Amino acid sequence: MSNHTGALPLVKLIEQFERLPGIGRKSAQRLAFHVLDLPIEKAREFAGAILDAHERIKKCSHCQNLTEEELCPICADKSRDETTVCVVEDPRDILAFERTREYKGLYHVLHGLISPMDGVGPEQLTVKELMAGLSDGKAREVIMATNPTVEGEATASYLARLLRPMGLKITRLAYGIPVGGNLEYADEVTLYRALEGRREI
């Protein structure tokens, strides 16, 4: 392409977009042209937002969520229930839980899952920080809210073994059919889990 547009900076910008997850060549082109068409001050805002995020965002010293402050707003919020800690893979998972407006406890972000295939062991995750956070004895229950994948399960089991000696209640999210889902399309493992976990109504 570089020999067709005479604009190397444009080719480079397209390449930048192409490196983003889920963005193919056509989309990258469309996005790059769009950004090029922006007024210069809007383009500066975009570039600035990228650098700003990098410079100003750090990890909460308590739960490892992303924050600008020493403590993230959830850890800093005294009205949250300190007796419950929900362990998640990623800061995005916190957004998902917060959208339910039901969970009032604290979180801990692992920033990954144990994955021997990818060479990720517990030492690459924030396991040490989790243990340190729990050492104040305030937590009563730790909810393992990692994804229902091989890595998510392995990580949940590993942490459960590690934390059980601390006398904590360790729970796992329920499996089952998604609300609004169609039984017909549920895979057999999910359906089996939904059956297994059935409750009286």
In sequence order, the 6+-apart residues with CB closer than 8 A to the CB of 176 are 190, 193, 194, 197
Footprint of a copy of itself on 16-45 (CB under 8 A): 16, 20-23, 27, 29-36, 38, 40, 43-45
Given 64, 74, 139, 170, the residue binding a copy of itself (CB under 8 A): 74
Q: Work out how close the CB of 34 gets to a copy of itself at its nearest, in angstroms, rounded to a whole number.
A: 5
Q: Work out how close the CB of 93 gets to a copy of itself at its nearest, in angstroms, rounded to a whole number.
A: 11
Nearer to a copy of itself, 73 or 197 (CB): 73
Judge contact between 13 and 32, C-beta under 8 A: yes
- Output the six-digit token pair for 72: 């993230």
**Three-point CA angle 129, 132, 133, nearest 5°:** 85
Other beta carbons within 10 angstroms of residue 5's beta carbon come to 12
- Output the six-digit token pair for 196: 């297994």
**Three-point CA angle 126, 60, 120, nearest 5°:** 20
- Does 57 bind a copy of itself (CB under 8 A)? Our answer is yes
Judge contact between 36 and 12, C-beta under 8 A: no
Q: Work out how close the CB of 97 gets to a copy of itself at its nearest, in angstroms, rounded to a whole number.
A: 9
Given 4, 78, 198, 199, the residue binding a copy of itself (CB under 8 A): 4
The 3-state secondary structure of 21-72, one letter per residue: CCCCHHHHHHHHHHHHHCCHHHHHHHHHHHHHHHHHCEECCCCCCEECCCCC
Q: Work out how close the CB of 167 gets to a copy of itself at its nearest, in angstroms, rounded to a whole number.
A: 31
Given 62, 72, 110, 144, the residue binding a copy of itself (CB under 8 A): 72
- Does 82 bind a copy of itself (CB under 8 A)? Our answer is no
Q: How many residues bind a copy of itself (CB under 8 A)?
A: 61
Sites of contact with a copy of itself (CB under 8 A):
1, 3-10, 12-13, 15-16, 20-23, 27, 29-36, 38, 40, 43-57, 60, 65-69, 71-74, 76, 90-92, 94-95, 98-99
